[in-house]
Amino acid sequence: MATASASGRKSIFITGAASGIGLGAAKRFAREGWFVGLADIDKAGLKQALAEIGPGNGVTLDLDVRDRGQWSRAMTAFGKASGGRLDVLLNNAGIARYGYLEEQSPEEGDLQIDINVKGVINGARAGLDLLKATPGSTLINVASCAGLFGAPRMAIYAASKFAVRGLSEALEGEFGRFGVAVRCIMPWFVDTPILNAGAQGTNMKIADAIREGGSPVYTVEEAAQVIWDAAQGKGGKLNYIVGQAGKSLALTLRFMPGLVRKRLRAAQLAEQP
């Protein structure tokens, strides 16, 4: 762990902080004067991330979110560096595999569940003591607009994000008794390395589907701003969607859920030889 002093500043612990939305959020909060815990399995990426936010603005922590022991050690180390504060825990680490269910190996499926679901649960457990000890603290879980509807070729990923959404809703009630707020972030497609995800033995990637469908792709800065708003409790909501496309989808699902399913089925049938 690279060390620095929090000097009484507000603090945030971010998983998956070496790149993508995690790094974008780290920069956003550091710019506001927060002390940032950068956690990831990518050691080289963490070193670069700390350089980008400024060495005095945070610490790096090696963390595989699947490992409860590593979570315990990371929280202990971060608590020492932050002076016992944890204003925000951002459960951001996640992966995707793109392809029909039969194209994805059981191991690829397990990995998505282990990181995207179990990793978030591990984080909520490990961070609770510090969150409870910090008045006005917030747990923020990053789900996805895939947690709003189950898109073909993303079945397991969608299942994992539905789980994060449900977990967040339940924890909002549970953690509320400790004065800890819970928020759930649901990004539409964001320009991160996850768009290059595919499945073993297939050439199709999420980025390919985006290009074919003409879907918008949002920036990590836009996602980071939504996370910032969620941390401030802006709007007093549980769920925060990143991107107008996601907001439009949520509205359609609310009033015309059958229309989305019909379009998805039609698109899949059109691909049949």
Please state, in angstroms and rounded to a whole number, the distance separating the CA atoms of residues 257 and 259: 5
The bridge status of strand 11-15 relative to strand 88-91 is parallel
Indicate the helix (H) or strand (E) that contains 254: helix 244-255
What are the CB-based long-range contacts (under 8 Å, 24+) for 51-59? 52/23, 52/26, 52/27, 53/26, 53/27, 54/30, 55/2, 55/4, 56/4, 56/5, 57/4, 57/30, 58/4, 58/26, 58/30, 59/1, 59/2, 59/3, 59/4
Catalytic site residue from 98, 100, 157, 240: 157
157 is catalytic: yes
Q: Are 24 and 223 in contact (CB under 8 A)?
A: yes
Q: Which DSSP state fits 218?
A: B
Q: Which DSSP state fits 146?
A: G
Q: Are 94 and 123 in contact (CB under 8 A)?
A: no
List the catalytic residues. Answer: 157
